[in-house]
A and B are shown apart, each in its own frame.
Chain A
Amino acid sequence: TQLLEQSPQFLSIQEGENLTVYCNSSSVFSSLQWYRQEPGEGPVLLVTVVTGGEVKKLKRLTFQFGDARKDSSLHITAAQPGDTGLYLCAASTSGTYKYIFGTGTRLKVLA
């Protein structure tokens, strides 16, 4: 069974701090996505990475796919209360219809 482990599971920080969330697996994936979920809503896609070593930026969020395509990280610079939510990584292998989701990182940014 393929597993995606996210760390940390919970994170509470002050506004303006930086943070990094990790998504790790022993399996190789063809693509990896990051989602953010807010209370009472479904996950919403932030980014998709497909190439080993790929780095994508979305405003203050920086996403990286590991060289071996087994892991990924999400770095937030100068976190804001609006960044509060559950961050989920999801990965798929080539030719499959399914995504495996990570265990999630619950982030709270205090004003």
Chain B
Amino acid sequence: NAGVTQTPKFRVLKTGQSMTLLCAQDMNHEYMYWYRQDPGMGLRLIHYSVGEGTTAKGEVPDGYNVSRLKKQNFLLGLESAAPSQTSVYFCASRPGLQGVQPQHFGDGTRLSIL
């Protein structure tokens, strides 16, 4: 039972480099989310998607782009990495709006920008 899988688990980048974080879920969930977690700040929403082909901005979208070409995958891109983007990134998914549904989280990607 995989649930939500994030790759890679760790990555070190130099300032200005680009990369893509992949999130895959096998639960047929409609909604997917990308968060970043920094010390003392809880989880902050970067972007989210309410279905295949749709994306929307969260609280802290600047410097990131996302795509949801397939229902099961949600990609987070950093076009030109900056040290301020050093963080732990979490992907989450949940079934849909009806009722109160929990989010299922991956185990995170620890990203360091030098």
List A residues at the B interface (Cβ < 8 Å).
1, 4, 6, 9, 30-31, 33, 40-45, 48, 50, 88, 90, 92, 95, 97-104
Contact = CB atoms under 8 A, between A and B. Distances in A.
A73 B90 CA distance: 25
Interface stretch (B63-71, B79-87, B98-106): B98-106
B87 to A, nearest CB: 14
Question: Which of A44, A88, A101: most chain B CB closer than 10 A?
Answer: A101
A41 B107 contact: yes
Contacts of B35: 101
B31 A97 contact: yes
Contacts of B108: 40-42
B50 A97 contact: yes
A48 B90 contact: no
A45 B48 CA distance: 19
Contacts, number: 57
The binding surface of chain A is classed by DSSP as: loop
A78 to B, nearest CB: 26
Contact of B42 (A31, A40, A88): A88
Contacts of A95: 97
Nearest to B45: A98
Interface string B38-75: 00111111001010000010110000000000000000
A42 B42 contact: no
Nearest to A33: B102
A42 B105 contact: yes
Contacts of A44: 105
B41 A103 contact: yes
A42 B91 CA distance: 9
27 contacts: A9-B40, A30-B100, A31-B100, A42-B4, A42-B92, A42-B106, A42-B107, A42-B108, A43-B43, A44-B105, A45-B103, A48-B100, A48-B102, A50-B100, A88-B43, A90-B43, A90-B103, A92-B100, A95-B97, A97-B56, A98-B33, A98-B58, A100-B45, A101-B35, A103-B41, A103-B42, A104-B42
